[in-house]
Structure 1
Amino acid sequence: MKQIISIVLLAMLTGVTAAGQKTDDVKQSRQAVKQFFGQLKGELQSAMKAGGPVNAIEVCSEEAPAIARDVSKEKGLQIGRTSLKPRNPGNAPDQWEKAVLKEFEQRKANGENPKKMEKHEIVEQNGQQVFRYMKAIPTGELCLKCHGSDLDPAVSAKLEKLYPEDRATGYSKGDLRGAFTIIKDL
């Protein structure tokens, strides 16, 4: 009887610990996204002021991956961006991300505010338990300079040069541009 009680108590404590861990992972993920987005937005705004949208494309091409690496290293996780229409094929969504992006699109169609959309869960990946998190990226007015339908010819030329397989145009303000994505080993 004592052994059964011990097993039940251990299972309950493990569940509480897992739930607490998940809460901490969500908090950490939100902070990582805020840090990544904040740094990227600052760099994009500076580039736009210095040389317009063509200059900002360089930031996404060169500086965004470096910012993601730095935040990932600092936070002990893997952060990036993905989309159903990626600009960089290296940012194409995996199966879990694709399902979440489609879920976000459905939630938006049902009237949910994309700015508040996020999803997180613990999943098995390559035989390991990992924490997954995604935060939607709605298309803002500034985004349309490089992701909209009516692009400046210089922007189109720069995108063609850097991203010959670009699929990340044709968006309107408020569309789901993609999502920040996080993977954390448990």
Structure 2
Amino acid sequence: MKRLSVLLLLPMMATAGELEQGQAIAAEFKGELMQTLKSAIAEGGPVNGISVCNSAAGPLADAVAQRHGVSLGRVGTRTRSPANEPQPWQAELVAAVEKDPRPQMLEIDGHQLYAEPLFIQEPCLACHGEPKDDVKAALNKYYPNDKATGYALGDLRGVLWVKLGNQVQ
């Protein structure tokens, strides 16, 4: 018989320091990723950006997380790859942010978690909106089961999360 574990996902009373810590770490990651993507797109257009995003986003997240002693990641409202399907706690995280789309602290499995909504911005539309044929071909190469298109400017694309090191008592 399979056991079903229930995850606890509750808004928590965070200190200003915890919220600021999460925001700072998230901003560092977003800044590094956007700089990398902008350079790639400037060199070879959106098709080059797809290649770089595919290979660089994970290592960038890992490097920032390691520097700060946290876990860090992104989860989408729609996935590019079956390997990126949200874990149950991540699906609940997305649902919580959809209900209250602002940066916030949550508690999950006894951990403090900073959650920041990621909204579609103008540059995102080349790959996440209605992509042109060359971009579609590149997306199909890297993500044959891509579901992360069809967004409009301002849509919620996903959540950037930072799991802080301290457990809630």
Q: Same fold (TM over 0.5)?
A: yes
> Quick check: 1:86 aligned with 2:79?
yes
- 4+ residue runs over 6 A deviation: none
> Quick check: 1:122 aligned with 2:97?
no
> Quick check: 1:176 aligned with 2:156?
yes
Contact 2:105 2:114 in 1 (8 A): yes
Coordinate RMSD, CA, aligned:
2.0
Which amino acid letter does the alignment assign opposite residue 172 of structure 1?
A: A
Cα-to-partner distance string for 1:11-54 (whole Å, 9 max, x where unaligned): xxxxxxxx77x543322211111000001111111111111000
Listed as ranges, the matches of 1:132-171 within 5 Å are 132-149=113-130, 151-171=131-151
Contact 1:134 1:180 in 2 (8 A): yes
Contact 1:84 1:101 in 2 (8 A): yes
Higher relative CO (Cα under 8 Å, sequence separation at least 6) belongs to 2
Gaps of 5+ in 1: 1-18, 108-113
Question: Kindly, what percent of the aligned residue pairs are identical?
Answer: 33
> Quick check: 1:95 aligned with 2:88?
yes
Aligned pair count?
A: 155
> Quick check: 1:40 aligned with 2:20?
no
Structure showing greater Rg: 1
Q: 1:89 to 1:184 in 2, by over 3 A?
A: farther
Local SS of the residue matching 2:122: coil
Q: 1:91 to 1:143 in 2, by over 3 A?
A: same
Partner of residue 70, structure 2:
77
Structure with the higher fraction of residues in helix conformation:
1
Cα-to-partner distance string for 1:61-116 (whole Å, 9 max, x where unaligned): 01111110100000111111111202133333233332232233344xxxxxx5xx
| In 1: Cα distance, 2:81 partner to 2:74 partner | 10
Task: Give how far 1:132 is off.
Answer: 1.4
Gaps of 5+ in 2: 1-12
Q: Which is worse superposed, 87-96 or 164-173?
A: 87-96
| In 1: Cα distance, 2:115 partner to 2:126 partner | 25
Contact 1:28 1:75 in 2 (8 A): no
